[in-house]
Chain A
Amino acid sequence: MGRLELIQSLTGHEGRVWNVSWHPKGNFFASCGEDKIIRVWGKQGSKWSLKSTLSEGHKRTVREVSWSPCGNYIASASFDATVAIWDKSAGEFECIATLEGHENEVKSVSWSRSGSFMASCSRDKSVWIWEVAEEEYECGAVLNAHTQDVKKVIWHPLEDIVASASYDNTVKMFREDLADHDWTCFATLTSHDSTVWSMSFDKSGTRLATCSDDNTIKIWREYKPGNVEGIVTPSGDPVWKCVCTLSGYHNRTIYDIAWCHQTDLIATACGDDIIRVFKEAPESDPNEPTFELVHTCTNAHSQDVNAVKWSPTVAGMLLSASDDETIKVWMYEE
């Protein structure tokens, strides 16, 4: 069993804070929310403080911010139906592009590991793939596979594969067909009984953790064609199966989940104001894994926790964002 120690509580946002995103080096992070202003925070000695405010970029709530893997750009997704790209090369952050196309609120934005692509998704049920070249952003594909509002998009940690989570209770995965350059949906993960709010790949990209309005977390595993377990892979695409469901732990909607690529710990952000940390049990069977709840941080915030993100460089360091207008920095210790 471990515990989450509160390092610092950061105020500044007016209105709920929806999301946070770490700079790949882990020495900065960005936050966003209802006040339409993106805030960038940095560390000075042992204390985090506000470094920049990125305003005038959006006309409505900013729902997600995402730092590019190279660390030079921040992408932001807003209810104003646009995605904005921010660049700091001129010294201060400035908005260098505003990507239009979605019909209504953009809920999520994410960069691929390779830096060649970005994805966005919206209440208009679509996932857009953007091709990134120099500082030009072109729409590469509009994917209309979901039947309802798409809540989140994330890229695979290694390959150019994108996963999307939706109000239609499913997660879909897409990849580009190298022959005709068409993006197609090669997997649909169905098991949750309600909206899938978020998901997180483990370090290898062969497992995915999803969280939902049905108050459960599900762990999925990839089975490639020719797998030793004998799982059938029709059409030669990998198949994703739900190998574990964690229920009975969360009392309300789980808004975010983060699988740490350094410690393998899984953190969840829940509408019951609690941050929970799970760890895979020793001797866990890869095809039927078991996870243990190793910490329950009750009243981590005074209202719903909307996001949790593990630091990419400092093992055990966690950020959380909440409806209570604060961002908290935590350290997980065994």
Chain B
Amino acid sequence: MVDNEHNTITVQFTPTIPHCSMASLIGLAIRVQLLRVLPSRFKVNVRITPGTHASEREVNKQLADKERVAAALENLNLVEVINQCIAGQFEF
């Protein structure tokens, strides 16, 4: 959902099962991908589609915390995993 006037983008993703342990990682990968391709004027919101995950609130809160995201992305191992998640997604 793109709001060009207010420069916000909201992405909702649905984990395949309600207790999916990869939900945080998937959300983070989405954020990183958007960070890399969008102009800096955009504010990004990444959330789990309401009602589709057991720890939805906890995961959404972490994904919305830019300090936690920034610190996590200083972990090169994690960045490598995310790069692998993202690779091959877009072919131009």
Contact = CB atoms under 8 A, between A and B. Distances in A.
Co-assembled chains A and B: yes
Interface of A: 16, 34, 60-61, 63, 79, 105, 107, 123, 149, 151, 167, 194-195, 213, 252-253, 271-272, 302-304, 323-324
Contacts of B74: 60-61, 79
A252 B70 CA distance: 18
B87 to A, nearest CB: 24
B40 A213 contact: no
A148 to B, nearest CB: 9
B68 A149 contact: yes
B57 to A, nearest CB: 10
A4 B68 CA distance: 31
Interface of B: 40-41, 43, 61, 64-68, 70-71, 74
**Main SS class of interface, B:** helix
Contacts, number: 35
A303 B61 CA distance: 21
Given A194-B61, A195-B61, A213-B65, A272 B70 contact: no
Contact of A61 (B61, B65, B68, B71): B71
A105 B71 contact: yes
Contacts of B66: 253, 271, 304
Contact of B43 (A79, A167, A252): A252
Given A213-B65, A252-B43, 7 more contacts: A61-B70, A63-B67, A149-B68, A253-B66, A271-B66, A302-B40, A304-B66
Indicate the member of B41, B61, B67, B71 with the most A CB atoms within 10 Å. B67
Nearest to B42: A303
Contacts of B40: 302-303, 323-324
Contacts of B71: 61, 79, 105, 123
Contacts of B41: 302-303
Contacts of B70: 16, 34, 61
Contact of B64 (A34, A107, A213): A213
3 closest A-B pairs by CB: A105-B71, A79-B71, A60-B74
Contacts of A194: 61
Contacts of B64: 213, 253
Contacts of B43: 252, 271-272
Indicate the member of A105, A151, A302 with the most B CB atoms within 10 Å. A105
Given A60-B74, A272-B43, A151 B61 contact: no
22 contacts: A16-B70, A34-B70, A60-B74, A61-B71, A61-B74, A63-B67, A105-B71, A107-B67, A123-B71, A151-B67, A167-B61, A194-B61, A195-B61, A195-B65, A213-B64, A271-B43, A271-B66, A302-B40, A302-B41, A303-B40, A323-B40, A324-B40
Nearest to A18: B67
